[in-house]
Structures are given as C-alpha cells and as structure tokens.
A = this chain, B = another copy of it.
Amino acid sequence: MTGRSLEEYTAPVEDYLKVIYEIERASGAAATTDIASRLAIAPASVSGMVRRLADQGLVDHERYHGVRLTDEGRRVALRMLRRHRVIEAYLTRALGYEWDRVHDEAERLEHAASDELIDRMEAAIGAPGVDPHGAPIPTREGQIDERELVSLAELEPRQMGRVVRVSDDDASRLRYLGELGLVPGARVTMLDRAPFGGPIRLRVRKAECAIGPQLAGSVWVEVAE
C-alpha cells in the first residue's frame, strides 16, 4: 500500500548488505576490515553493526572469521543492487546524466525509491539488463547474471577481449577510462606488460595506451578466441 512493501531496513543496513554481498562474491567471507574500508567506517563500528545484522538474521557471523549473508540477507542485497543499477541506468538514459555522475546519486536514491518506482524506471528505458558501467541488473525476483570475468590486469600478451564492465565508484577514474575508450563494448588487445607492476600496453579501437595495473584491475573483459 505504501509502495515500500513490508520490509523496512535502514539505509546503513542496506549499504552494509550490498558491500558484504560484493566482498563475499570476491573472497568468500566478508572480513570486518574489508567492510570497514569499503564503507569508510571504523572497524569497531562494523563489529557493532555486524551484531545487529546477525540479530536480524541477515548475516551469519563466525567470530573473528567474518560474515556471510543468509538467504534473507542475500535477497535484500540483490534487491539493493537492482535498485542502484536501475537508477543509474535511468539517470543516464532518461535524464542525460554522464556515467561518472550517477553513482553518488544512486547511492542515496536506492534507499528512498519504492519498488514500483524502480519497476517504472526500468520499463521506461526498455529494461536494458545492465547499468551504465556494464554491471548486470538483477531481476525483480533476484536473478542475476553472475558469470566470472577477467580483468585487464590478468590478460596475457596478444590476448583479445571485449570490455564488459568497469568499476563505478570513482568518478575521476570513470572519466579517464572514458577518454581512453575503455567503455563497455570496446574491443581491446593486450600488447605487453612491463614487469614489477609496470604499465600494461593496450590497443583500444586502433589507438594505443598504457595503464597501470591498478587501473587495469578495474576493467573486466570477456576474452575472445
């Protein structure tokens, strides 16, 4: 009736679940310090919140060994990822936002929008399936395309791939990637890599460029044969 359905979690709880989901997918259980650094919060505060999340049945906590989402926690996390990504996609496609300006806006709106609004936004832009940074949008039912991708940092010389997705949490990095043409859909060839964390040279759409391993780690590709 209100549009928000029964569940009522606070915005901080929703943000914690999102980052726990992402850490868990990358590294098994989510460690306190990982959560803390992702949220820019003191580790002690995370310990406190983890207790509350466990009390609410959203995570399982093994003391000193990190947390894992329960089924309910995962459901909420996927719901938030859907909201975040639908909003990002809507802002770029319907309201003319650049891809580097949508993340912060979505980070707040995701907690305020009703399910109905999310569904209407998704429909209004033709249900694109991915957000502006290539991240898959979960369905209303929580289905998501979880396929594993390879980052540019892992590519071998002469390997070719197509950019599928980039990290979206740093606006200036997004702008730089945009300048280089490293956007979803772009074809890339890894040329060579200097040792000891040196630059990685790439061919992107007939241009060449060299990027550091850290930046390369935030661009994921589908390897082509």
Contact = CB atoms under 8 A, between A and B. Distances in A.
**Which of A96, A105, A113 counts the most chain B CB atoms within 10 A?**
A105
Contact of A104 (B3, B91, B97, B109): B3
A49 interface: no
A120 B95 contact: yes
Interface string A2-14: 1100000000000
Interface in A167-196: none
A44 interface: no
Contacts of A42: none
A124 interface: yes
Interface in A83-116: 91, 94-97, 101, 104-105, 108-109, 111-114, 116
A96 B120 contact: yes
B117 A95 contact: yes
User: What's the interface size class on A, roughly?
Assistant: 20 to 34
Nearest to A106: B112
A127 to B, nearest CB: 15
Contact of A112 (B97, B112, B121, B124): B112
A98 to B, nearest CB: 11
B109 A113 contact: yes
A105 B120 contact: no
B95 A124 contact: yes
Contacts of A116: 101, 105
Given A108-B113, A109-B109, 10 more contacts: A2-B104, A94-B94, A94-B124, A95-B117, A95-B120, A95-B121, A95-B124, A104-B114, A105-B114, A112-B112
21 contacts: A2-B104, A3-B104, A3-B105, A91-B117, A94-B94, A94-B124, A95-B117, A95-B121, A95-B124, A96-B120, A97-B120, A101-B116, A104-B114, A105-B114, A105-B117, A108-B112, A108-B113, A109-B109, A109-B112, A109-B113, A112-B112
Interface of A: 2-3, 91, 94-97, 101, 104-105, 108-109, 111-114, 116-117, 120-121, 124
